[in-house]
Amino acid sequence: MHIPFSPPDISDIEINEVIDTLKSGWITTGPKTKLLEKNIAEYVGTSKAVCLNSATAAMELTLRLLGIGEGDEVITSAYTYTASASVIQHVGARIVLVDTGVNSYQMDYEQLEKAITPNTKAIIPVDIAGVMCDYETIFDIVHRKQSLFRPSTDLQKEIGRIVVLADAAHSFGAVLKGKRSGSIADFTSFSFHAVKNFTTGEGGAVTWRDIPGVDNEEIYKQFMLLSLHGQSKDALSKTKLGSWEYDIVYPGYKCNMTDIMASIGLGQFQRYPQLLEKRRQLIQFYDKELSHIGDVEVLRHYGQNFSSSGHLYLVRLLGKDEEYRNKVIKQMAWKNISTNVHYKPLPMHTAYKNLGFDICDYPNAFSMYQNEVTLPLHTQLTNEEVKYVVKALNSILQESTWKGRDINVLERVE
């Protein structure tokens, strides 16, 4: 048996949508991208959505739309993928990293409040594994700190406080208190990268809540300009007979979604409720199987007020250290089971060390990281395979010594 970590789930529906696009004579941004945007906005419950080539682009363009840059500060979690923070650097603002709470994958909300200064323009909470952050608390904090806020653009003035930009790369489809991810934060960015729940190969989208006094069409237009060279007309409008002329209003970026990508998304969209349900069923089966094993703690995905998108199955090996966890991962690999770690905190990476971050300042994130293992979870997984994974993990944890066998494992892995 070989158990991959998260292969894409592509059916004939996606394949036929792609073929349809390829045969249609229009393969870049066009009707399919616009339809996917409409579907996403309807699904999450916003007025509009914009599809782009990644979640990273969605976050970066949102910061640019807001006019965040030099002299500004943006806060995100130390416990995330680099994209949540690198976009802050890209726009020229200062990255502020906050430690996680004790035994939590989310930011410590007290420390978040303390990290706010008059230069803070945005907070990027991260919905780890598809479980949404505590947005009520986050909004309470930005309202409490409203008097510190110093807007420097018209849009910032209209919003009138620190902007909450959700990194919802994992949480498409998640629900918190009856509201879908995408309709809770001021802006929300989704990833449709190949390993994510909902995929377009590469891709992403941004949604936003209506802002009183601001026209949604205007925000949409700004995203179009930012993502397509600052060009006043997209490629499809330019193909209209006799309609060649366009203007470049500023030197913009290039990160639009193509109709080929969007057609994969349109196929995924039709199947997404079943895909989410399958994830729920697998997670509940994992929870049940793992409940018989001592000294492991699993992340809760479903509760009274919330339902995650079931993106990642995170397990903590209680009382264990980084070295032990790494050995477990190698032993799992030896048994042909792919696992992962979500995440190595940003201050442990060279780029963030070079920016002056030190993991010693993030003890809670380190203690989450050191004994975390992410088990395979994808929509082609079977209950039999879940049993196999849990049995393998259990037998590895039962072993008192791995002397000798480590050598084999290393040979196997290399």
Which residues form the interface with ligand PLP (CB under 6 A)? 54-56, 80-81, 83-84, 126, 167, 169-170, 191, 193, 204
Nearer to ligand PLP, 14 or 202 (CB): 202
Q: What's the min distance (Å) between Cβ of 6 and ligand PLP?
A: 11
Q: How many residues does the chain have?
A: 414
Nearer to ligand PLP, 54 or 120 (CB): 54
Tokens matching residue 12: 């004939």
Backbone φ, ψ for residue 38 (5° rounding): -65, -45
Nearer to ligand PLP, 6 or 191 (CB): 191
Q: What's the min distance (Å) between Cβ of 255 and ligand PLP?
A: 10
With beta carbons less than 8 A apart as the criterion, state whether 211 and 63 touch. no
Which runs of E-coded beta strand occur in 99-170? 120-124, 163-167
Q: What's the min distance (Å) between Cβ of 197 and ligand PLP?
A: 11
Q: How far apart are the first and last CA of the chain?
A: 20
Nearer to ligand PLP, 54 or 106 (CB): 54
Q: What's the min distance (Å) between Cβ of 172 and ligand PLP?
A: 11
Q: What's the min distance (Å) between Cβ of 342 and ligand PLP?
A: 8
Strand 94-98's sheet: what is its strand order?
49-52, 204-208, 187-191, 163-167, 120-124, 73-77, 94-98
Q: What's the min distance (Å) between Cβ of 82 and ligand PLP?
A: 8
Residue 180: partners with Cβ closer than 8 Å, 6 or more residues away: 43, 44, 45, 173, 174
Nearer to ligand PLP, 64 or 170 (CB): 170
Q: Residue 320 — left, alpha, or beta (φ > 0 → left; ψ -120 to 50 → alpha)? A: beta
Nearer to ligand PLP, 311 or 320 (CB): 311
Nearer to ligand PLP, 180 or 193 (CB): 193
d(CA 69, CA 390): 47
Which class for 32: exposed (0-12), middle (13-18), buried (19 or more C-beta within 10 A)?
A: buried
Q: What's the min distance (Å) between Cβ of 95 and ligand PLP?
A: 14
d(CA 182, CA 161): 19
Nearer to ligand PLP, 33 or 80 (CB): 80
DSSP 298-366: E---B-SSEE-----EEEEETT--HHHHHHHHHHHHHTTB--B-S---GGGSHHHHHTT--GGG-HHHH
d(CA 331, CA 408): 10
Residue 116: partners with Cβ closer than 8 Å, 6 or more residues away: 75, 141, 145, 148, 162
Q: What's the min distance (Å) between Cβ of 345 and ligand PLP?
A: 13
